[in-house]
Structure 1
Amino acid sequence: MTAVLLSVKPVYADALLAGTKKAEVRRRFPSAAPGTSVFIYASSPVRALVGTLRLDQITRAAPDIVWRDHHHQIEIAEDALTHYLAGRDEAAMLWVSRPNRWGAKIPLQEMREKLRLEPPQSFRYLTDAMVAELHTMRPSERILQSPTTSAGAPFRAASARWR
């Protein structure tokens, strides 16, 4: 797995891709290597892939610590964060950089038709082949590549195998 697809509310997707939201808070999130490409799916009403980020690190903390120490970096209201993390002893914070808002979004219908991909409730891993297909769908976009994915012939070959 070389990339992660995150479903995010449009207001948070905008903040992440503007670079003002430095971390995305999740109720749970497994491990992912620094440098992993993060594809952002903006949920309803946008319903489209809208850009990429680079995962720098994942940290975990109690919900009250998340708010106390990081509220200025997560761009979410305290009551919304409290409601979202209700019942959790720990939250995952995905620290991201290199925001890249795409000029041309990939609408949900195109995701379904060309990638056979449904947006996840929270997140899902993307294979090298899926990332390669995204590259062919948006060749003019600067799609981030994870450390294990390189550009060029192997990238195009992965795309051909996936089709």
Structure 2
Amino acid sequence: MKKILISIKPEYASKIYDGEKTVELRKRIGKDFQRGCKLYIYSSSPVKMLTGEAEIGEIFCASPEQIKKQLFAVAGITHAAFDEYFKGSPKGYAIFLKNVREYEKKIPLPVLRAKGITPPQSFSYLNEEHASLMWGY
């Protein structure tokens, strides 16, 4: 099962940890995004830390209109932000998150880089070595 490092804006990461946001919205996902994959959550600027993890439950692929109609209440986003994000996209993905865990001890960007991990713009796959290195911090 793949391990995925996913960058999320801090405001949305906080909503995930608070339980207000139970789906992560994306315009594209990788071919290895599957139920049961672990997502390592990197809170992007200005936080710049690995802040927690979750597991992929289900993945719902549909038009942005369908996603908004069915899942807006659990997406933790404003109507304006949703519309701007999906503007011009014919389809989108809603990744249902389960087993969400915010780390007590977050891992700052310099430590990640020292271990050879560069947070992605959107997502990247971690090899087993990188995944295990993170827990030695």
Deviations 1:12-61 (Å, cap 9, x if unpaired)?
A: 00111222211000010123221111000001110000000011121101
Aligned length: 136
Counterpart in the other structure of 2:52: 51
- In the alignment, the residues of structure 2 paired with residue 117 and residue 102 of structure 1 have an alpha-carbon distance, to the nearest angstrom, of 18
Instruction: Note the C-alpha offset of 1:123.
Output: 0.5
Which structure has the higher relative contact order (CA within 8 Å, separation 6+)? 2
Indicate conservation of the 8 Å contact 2:3/2:125, yes or no: yes
User: Mapping of 1:76-155 within 5 angstroms?
Assistant: 76-114=77-115, 116-137=116-137
Larger radius of gyration: 1
- In the alignment, the residues of structure 2 paired with residue 103 and residue 92 of structure 1 have an alpha-carbon distance, to the nearest angstrom, of 29
User: Partner amino acid for 1:68?
Assistant: K
Counterpart in the other structure of 1:8: 8
Greater strand proportion: 2
Instruction: Note the C-alpha offset of 1:69.
Output: 1.0
Instruction: Note the C-alpha offset of 1:130.
Output: 1.1
- In the alignment, the residues of structure 2 paired with residue 38 and residue 57 of structure 1 have an alpha-carbon distance, to the nearest angstrom, of 13
CA RMSD between the two structures: 1.1
Instruction: Note the C-alpha offset of 1:118.
Output: 1.4
Counterpart in the other structure of 1:38: 39
- In the alignment, the residues of structure 1 paired with residue 118 and residue 99 of structure 2 have an alpha-carbon distance, to the nearest angstrom, of 25
Indicate conservation of the 8 Å contact 2:48/2:109, yes or no: yes
Instruction: Note the C-alpha offset of 1:129.
Output: 1.3
Deviations 1:67-116 (Å, cap 9, x if unpaired)?
A: 111111101011111101111000011111111110111111111012x1
User: Partner amino acid for 2:18?
Assistant: A
Fraction of identical pairs, as percent: 30
